[in-house]
Amino acid sequence: MIVLGIETSCDETAAAVVTSDGRILSNEVLSQIRQHTPFGGVVPEVAARAHLEQTDRIVKQAIQQSGLKLSQIDAIAATTGPGLIGGVLVGVMTAKAIALSQDKPFIAVNHLAGHALTVRLRNSEYGDPVAFPYLLLLVSGGHCQLLIVEGADRFIRLGTTLDDALGEAFDKTAKMLGLGFPGGPKVEQCAKTGNPDRFPLPRPLKGRKGADFSFSGLKTKVRQTIEALPPGPLKPQDVADLTASFQQAAGDVLVDRTANALDLFSRRHPDGGPLVVAGGVAANTVLRARLSALAHERNIDFAAPPVHLCTDNAAMIAWAGLERLQNGPVNDMDIKPRPRWPLDANAEHQPGKKEKAR
Ligand code: KG4
Ligand code: ZN
């Protein structure tokens, strides 16, 4: 089976063609970084407009690159939520129109399921597919969650962030240090030459029970640390040391919370399963190494998507569509875009907790 995937939920316009045996025939990703840079972050209205202008072209390009005709594609999948509604609408309407004109099914894909299932999109290039169940740390610009993944649409959320997502904390740290947008890769780059022990930063919730996260205190301390430095432009060494200290604090928190989640996971699945990290922040090689070391300590396997499939792309959306298609016929033509769409519906409402919109 072959699926065309479309991703437009944030600031990447993407389209890809993927086969059920895990071959990525094309994977077009157009970033809107240039349009959002003057604002230091993603502006929903600017994003929607850019998706509207580019989606048709990117879809055409993905089909051309795949070497196939549209009629050879079995289904069209698009991110139907969660995400910025203007962009999601563009992707869903485009996908539905193609599906209708070709008389093929439309598959509504949850963006988070795309990230969650990418490690199962494996072939000779990426290694063996990861089998269910696994413990997933999903870390992106909008989310920071620990989930048990038991099937393509069976997720149990063990913890989530009470305030900011980790990618957001990376982006805000970069912004405060004048490193630009998106911040994650810039912080990682600067941290390479920094001393991670120079600035004492908090490790929110570390040592506490459970698998929730909190990053707003860490972000605030970064701001206060910058304010306490001598006035004037920041010295490159200060920037390097602060980014390294931030990244180390983030890594300590991720390892601590993931270790607790592994305990909860093994209670439900005594035979165990691997630890998987996915989402944009999973592109960070230092954090990947810390999580891989945790898995090694626990004597379990570790998996992460190849770096270029960690940040938003449409291959993961096509793949999540294929996983659904393999479980039986799908027709989601009646499903409307959903700006909020938790993977674990039972975890949607947690009294007293402030939830991120995405
Ligand atoms: O998954 P993604 O592309 O979009 C969302 O679904 O949110 O994640 C984007 C986030 C951004 O916050 C970006 O700064 C972060 O992932 N990111 C990184 C790295 N590359 C991207 N964070 C830390 N280190 C990186 N190398
Ligand atoms: Zn994403």
pLDDT in tens, 267-310: 999 999 999 999 999 999 999 999 999 999 999 999 999 999 99
Please report whether residue 356 resides in a domain. Answer: no
Q: Does residue 163 carry a pLDDT above 70? A: yes
Which of ligand 1's atoms lies nearest the C-alpha of 115? 1
**Entry pTM:** 0.94
Q: Which ligand is nearest to the CA of 164?
A: 1
Pick the closest to residue 250 from 206, 316, 299, 185 (CA basis): 206
Percentage above 90 pLDDT, the chain? 89
Please report whether residue 337 resides in a domain. Answer: no
Nearest CA, atom 13, ligand 1: 184
pLDDT of residue 78: 98
Instruction: Judge if 204 and 55 occupy the same domain.
Output: no
pLDDT of residue 356: 45
pLDDT of residue 122: 76
pLDDT of residue 180: 87
Which of ligand 1's atoms lies nearest the C-alpha of 140? 8
Q: What is the pLDDT of residues 122-131, one digit of tens each?
A: 765 667 889 9
pLDDT of residue 355: 41
Q: Does residue 350 carry a pLDDT above 70? A: no
> For the residues 169-192, what does the mean pLDDT come to?
95
pLDDT of residue 33: 86
Distance 312 CA to ligand 2 centre (A): 5
Residues with a CB atom less than 6 Å from ligand 1: 10, 140-142, 167, 170-171, 182-185, 188, 279-281, 283-284, 311-312
pLDDT of residue 124: 59
Instruction: Judge if 142 and 275 occupy the same domain.
Output: yes
Q: Does residue 351 carry a pLDDT above 60? A: no
Tell me the HSE value of 76 on the side-chain side, using a 13 A CA sphere: 23
**What does the longest C-alpha to C-alpha distance in the chain come to?**
65
Pick the closest to residue 302 from 282, 316, 321 (CA basis): 282
Please report whether residue 204 resides in a domain. Answer: yes
What CATH number has the domain bearing residue 182? Answer: 3.30.420.40
Identify the burial level of 323 via C-beta atoms within 10 angstroms of its C-beta, where 0-12 means exposed, 13-18 middle and 19 or more buried: buried
Nearest CA, atom 8, ligand 1: 280
Please report whether residue 27 resides in a domain. Answer: yes
Which of ligand 1's atoms lies nearest the C-alpha of 183? 14
Please report whether residue 153 resides in a domain. Answer: yes
Distance 191 CA to ligand 1 centre (A): 16
Please report whether residue 254 resides in a domain. Answer: yes
Instruction: Judge if 273 and 174 occupy the same domain.
Output: yes
Distance 230 CA to ligand 2 centre (A): 37
Please report whether residue 37 resides in a domain. Answer: yes
Instruction: Judge if 45 and 140 occupy the same domain.
Output: no
Distance 321 CA to ligand 1 centre (A): 23
- Model confidence band, residue 143 (pLDDT cutoffs 50, 70, 90): very high
pLDDT of residue 123: 67
> For the residues 215-241, what does the mean pLDDT come to?
97
Q: Does residue 358 carry a pLDDT above 60? A: no
Distance 65 CA to ligand 2 centre (A): 23
Pick the closest to residue 44 from 29, 56, 32 (CA basis): 32
| Ligand 1, pocket-test mutation among 7, 254, 281, 308, most atoms within 8 A of CB | 281
Six-digit token pair at 214?
A: 């909190």
Stated length of the chain: 358
Distance 185 CA to ligand 1 centre (A): 8
Which of ligand 1's atoms lies nearest the C-alpha of 166? 12
Strand partners, 108: 78
Distance 277 CA to ligand 2 centre (A): 13
Instruction: Judge if 98 and 166 occupy the same domain.
Output: no
CB 126 within 8 A of CB 329: no
DSSP percent split of the chain into helix, strand, coil, nearest 5? 45, 20, 35
- Model confidence band, residue 40 (pLDDT cutoffs 50, 70, 90): confident
Distance 215 CA to ligand 1 centre (A): 15
| Average pLDDT of the chain, as a whole number | 94
Q: Which ligand is nearest to the CA of 243?
A: 1
Flag the least confident range among 11-15, 25-29, 41-45, 339-343.
41-45
Q: What is the pLDDT of residues 243-260, one digit of tens each?
A: 999 999 999 999 999 999
Residues with CB under 5 A from ligand 2 (ion): 140, 312
CB 32 within 8 A of CB 50: yes
pLDDT of residue 125: 67
- Model confidence band, residue 41 (pLDDT cutoffs 50, 70, 90): confident
Please report whether residue 126 resides in a domain. Answer: no
